[in-house]
Amino acid sequence: MARSLLPSVQIPVCLYQVGSLIVDSGPSNARRFLRKQTWTPAPRAVLLTHFHEDHSGNAAFFHRQFQSALYGHPFTATKLKTGFRLLPYEKIMFGGAEPAPLVHLHHGDSFEYEGRLFEVLETPGHAEGHLCFYVPQEGWLFSGDMYVAERIKIWRRSENLALQIESLEMLSRLSFDALWCGHNPQPKGGPELLKKKLEYFRWFYGLAAEAFRKGLSEKEAIRFMGLRERHLVKLLTFNDVSVAHMVRSVYETERKRAALRPSSGL
């Protein structure tokens, strides 16, 4: 349900309906598609994994059209209270997100909805206030953008690799099968896929941390790690998406950790 900046690249964006419950709402530029759907039963509630416009873009539509109650993390609620600014590429690909009122959900919350128990898990790293929704009796994990692919090669400026590793460690210990993510749903083998992504992130972090300890610049680290910057993507996204941001996330975490280590000097 999204356009790409590059004609050769397709970007699937998923929302899910479980009875009268919707998980994520898709991008607002897919509104025409949503209006054509026969919603049976009518959506009574919408869970948002995070505030990004490709996930929250139709929250206001569901609230207005069906009087659906909207639920999300307090940070997501703050972002959607008045709406938020987007870069041009985000508007082109996904459209904006209108203001909408959210009921707060927190890590550790659980609730029963139409006979299914949903557990709320806070999984920061991709976005502040990112939530996953675990349905153990069905073997489902609604994971927002915690999966997408096993190897992530480009990175948004606001992402934090160390936090994503911690979140993936928590999720990979759960017992489930279906990984219902926002862009690449996987009906089988969810924990194994998350573990493969976790392994890659650990490898990336370890090598970038080694480059940091060697005193390499971020550009030197990219060469040291055998990576390649995608300059066209960087240009089209106004430097919001870049390989360098992924390396920088490690460098920033390592600087903070170094500052906290006790000095051995007198």
| Distance set, CA 50 to CA 38, 56, 123, 145, 150 (Å) | 26, 7, 10, 9, 20
Is the confidence at residue 92, as pLDDT, over 80?
A: yes
Beta strands in the chain (DSSP E): 16-18, 21-23, 45-47, 69-72, 103-104, 110-113, 116-122, 131-135, 140-144, 155-156, 178-181, 241-242
What is the Cα 99 distance to its own chain's centre? 20
pLDDT in tens, 101-154: 999 999 999 999 999 999 999 999 999 999 999 999 999 999 999 999 999 877
Q: What does the alpha-carbon distance between residue 255 and residue 251 come to, in Å, rounded to a whole number?
A: 6
Percent of the chain predicted with pLDDT > 90: 86
Peptide bond into 41 cis (omega under 30): yes
130 vs 264 pLDDT, higher one: 130
- Residue 5 in 3-state DSSP? coil
Is the confidence at residue 8, as pLDDT, over 60?
A: no
- Residue 15 in 3-state DSSP? coil
Instruction: Give one DSSP letter per residue of 115-157, joined into a string.
Output: TEEEEEEE--SSSTT-EEEEETTTTEEEEETS-S-S----EET
**pLDDT, position 10:** 66
CA angle at 215 for the pair 156 and 204, rounded to the nearest 5°: 40
Write the burial class of residue 132 (CB in 10 Å: 0-12 exposed, 13-18 middle, 19+ buried): buried
By the 8 A CB rule, do 26 and 1 touch? Answer: yes
pLDDT in tens, 193-229: 999 999 999 999 999 999 999 999 999 999 999 999 9
Sequence-separated (6 or more) residues with CB below 8 Å from residue 223: none
pLDDT in tens, 23-52: 999 999 889 999 999 999 999 999 999 999
Structure tokens, 45? 């509630």
Is the confidence at residue 2, as pLDDT, over 70?
A: no
Question: 266 pLDDT band (50/70/90 cuts)?
Answer: very low
Return the number of other C-beta atoms located less than 10 Å from residue 135's C-beta.
19
Average pLDDT, the chain: 93
- Identity of the residue numbered 38: T
What's the whole-number mean pLDDT along residues 162-176? 97
**pLDDT, position 12:** 87
Write the burial class of residue 175 (CB in 10 Å: 0-12 exposed, 13-18 middle, 19+ buried): exposed
Q: What does the alpha-carbon distance between residue 65 and residue 185 come to, in Å, rounded to a whole number?
A: 27
**pLDDT, position 172:** 93
At residue 183, φ and ψ (nearest 5 deg) are -135, -10
Q: What does the alpha-carbon distance between residue 54 and residue 183 come to, in Å, rounded to a whole number?
A: 10
What's the whole-number mean pLDDT along residues 7-17? 80
Is the confidence at residue 88, as pLDDT, over 80?
A: yes
